[in-house]
Amino acid sequence: MVTSIGAGKNAPGSASREPAAVNKKAEKREIAKAKILNATLNIIADKGLAALSHRSIASTAGVQLAMTTYYFGTIDNILVAAFREFSKSMEPVNADLESKGKALLARSQGADGELRSCEQYIEGVAEIFAGMIDAGPSARLRQLRIESQYLFEQHTSEALAEEIQSYSDWLASIALKFIQPIGSDNPDLDAQLFLWTVQCLEFSHVSSFTVKGASSREVLLRLLRGFCR
């Protein structure tokens, strides 16, 4: 006769196996999503936004075609999620810039907190950014290809436009930290002008656009000297 004691309860060890199975499933899901986003960014870097489709993404990611729709729904949703991943990849680059900016400012300020020499300070700023622009490692070139595709895309969804604006605001805030010590009468506008110039110089590495007859350092110095009082 079967006793009713313990009826409906899991067999010994089954409770511990269930969370393990759930965790394994969640892990596989995250791996598949990461493959899809990385494939999306690779396609953008190599062929541009126009080459994106559910089929091209799935093929590059090595996943079943249905997975792109299952996990993200639309191409627009994939673009937003991929841009967030791109933004994360930029965190070390921008953190390094900010660190160099703080060190430069510490060397350039006097005891009263004012710049000892505006010319020496802007020469330091130009050196930092020209070094970043002209270094051109392969990983950075990939970032520039992706960044330029997103920033110059004309037909973005509202969600993607918000992400791009947030990213642009982040870059502008970093530029402002370099420009503010100069003491111009409109540091926000000057920071935006500086950012645009840096981006144009950077994007020249991944486009047919070039600035002829001057180095990146010379271009930046000419602009920055106009900000000094």
Q: Which CATH number fits domain 90-225: 3.30.420, 1.10.3470, 1.20.120, 1.10.357?
A: 1.10.357
The reply to whether 90-225 shares the fold of 14-79 is: yes
Tokens of 115: 């710049």
What is the phi-psi region of residue 221: left when phi exceeds 0, alpha when psi lies from -120 to 50, beta otherwise?
alpha
Locate the domains of the chain by residue range: 14-79, 90-225
Which residues of the chain fall short of a pLDDT of 50?
1-8
Tell me the whole-structure pTM to 2 decimals.
0.84
Dist CA 185 CA 84 (whole Å): 34
Q: What is the pLDDT, as a whole number, of residue 17?
A: 62
Q: What is the pLDDT of residues 188-216, one digit of tens each?
A: 999 999 999 999 999 988 887 777 777 99
* Helix, coil or strand: residue 212: coil
Q: Mean pLDDT of all residues in the chain?
A: 89
Q: What is the pLDDT of residues 97-114, one digit of tens each?
A: 999 999 999 999 999 989
Q: What are phi and psi of 109, to 5 degrees?
A: -85, 145
Q: Note whether 82 and 40 are within 8 A (CB).
A: yes
- The CATH class, in words, for 14-79 is mainly alpha
Q: What is the pLDDT, as a whole number, of residue 1?
A: 40
Helices (H), the chain: 14-47, 54-61, 65-72, 75-89, 91-108, 118-135, 138-151, 158-179, 187-203, 216-225
Q: What are phi and psi of 153, to 5 degrees?
A: -70, 130
